[in-house]
Structure 1
């Protein structure tokens, strides 16, 4: 995929720093998220990167990596960097467990946060992200160094995938939203994220959020009616400056997706 020059320089610098800190313990570096899915939007998207290391990182090494990659040391040209480091055995495990060595959020547009174990994360933040992210990496990760992402990361089993997708939908439903008819910033991502989950379970492919919304509408399946068309189109427009949908309207759609996913799963 094409990357703009600031992003290309940044990722090159990030890989260089990771190599200096981890040495021959660094097995690979992978662009994930919107960069891996060829949907990166300068000014809106985060930069998601996964590093794979040969063995456990002690706290001193993990701390040095954080110090040298935080925005103040290596300025991120996007809203921020979301970095996760996995051991090679975790990346290849195909499980839904978090299993990371260190996680770093840093950037001009996001709060700084570092977690050295999954137990460091507040329970309310959810632990389903990591298995889903590794599934996306398996399909669409862009190798910056190391073997292809499909070799470095195993996909989830169908049962684990469905479980984590349901957990993600419930997490979004639990987020506070403005009452009534007020636009809810971020509701567009909740709607399109639900579309992406539906498409992945129904068609076996992870798509960027906007493409997933289009795919859901194009298939004219059981979730698509006039209100869904309007809601998804509004959510797509909101990503380029349009008015986001209201929270209650987004939640109604998310509940429909969750119910539809559960209806296909006898264990739900």
Structure 2
């Protein structure tokens, strides 16, 4: 963690404490900072506060006033802050369950939501359960008990369902037309890699590390495995009638890794990793095709080996 970020986080905790007093039970940094992948100038800062009881609109508004970028300048691209009550943080629920959410920064659109009902469903309600899962694994405590004690992980079925929701949400985003390089497409590819790795290996990794782990999986895939075609559409990857993805064999294991054997997959992931270091990003269409393949892998029925 660089010194400007360290100072900022200390000031953020102090400012939050000035508003909440003894109600502030914990402050945690997650995201790229928690995963030891923070890049000054590129990364956001993800902070979760734990408050002893419901905030109320007046207190939540005062907290927003004290922590928004205009009052407390954020040295990163922006601050993404969420406040939870202890019982929500410890519950392992897939529901959003937050008291207030604040997005603010020099290069981030200002946004505040005073509870889940204040956030449009079209903007995604899966983020919070996934964020708390990352906090459970890799959160850094700025105040309060260790993050692994303050935040519970998701149940495997809930985790997979939220990851499926996340990939589908990204598939609904517009993409640049044509086959030319699309800035940001590399993050779409590597974010999908991270979903694959979390289900396949049971660990949250930074995006680039997740891409490299997927490449290692590809090298370990039998050469004679025939991957599925990359013409999957959202309709092809629908979940069962109850809306929940079908779990694969084993604890979180994917149904079939055969699609990794496709050279187009490995080339795309390698290009996306290079783009994070200044290389040319892939096209939006290529990223979209890859996301569909990851979605198909996450929602596929269990692979059954035939005997005899």
With the shorter chain as reference, the TM-score category is: over 0.9
State how 1:115-264 maps to structure 2 within 5 Å. 115-220=113-218, 221=221, 222-224=258-260, 225-264=262-301
- 1:87 pairs with 2:85: yes
Q: Please identify runs of 4+ aligned residues in structure 1 that moved more than 4 A.
A: none
Residue 73 of structure 1 is matched in structure 2 by 71
State how 1:93-112 maps to structure 2 within 5 Å. 93-112=91-110
Which residue among 30, 36, 39 is the counterpart of 1:38? 36
Distance 1:251 1:161 in 2: 22
Other structure's SS at 2:99 match: strand
Distance 2:158 2:57 in 1: 30
Q: Summarize deviations over 1:180-205 as a string: whole Å, max 9, x none.
A: 21222221111101100000001100
Other structure's SS at 1:223 match: helix
**Structure 2 gaps, min length 5:** 222-257, 304-308
Which structure has the larger Rg? 2
Give the structure-1-normalised TM-score.
0.96
Other structure's SS at 1:156 match: coil
Distance 1:21 1:240 in 2: 40
Residue 250 of structure 2 is matched in structure 1 by none
Alpha-carbon RMSD across the aligned residues, in angstroms, is: 1.1
Q: Summarize deviations over 1:54-79 as a string: whole Å, max 9, x none.
A: 11001111111100000000000000
Q: Summarize deviations over 1:90-148 as a string: whole Å, max 9, x none.
A: 00110110010000000000100000011211222100000000000000000001000
Q: How many residues align?
A: 264
Distance 2:97 2:170 in 1: 22
Give the structure-2-normalised TM-score.
0.84
1:265 CA displacement: 5.7
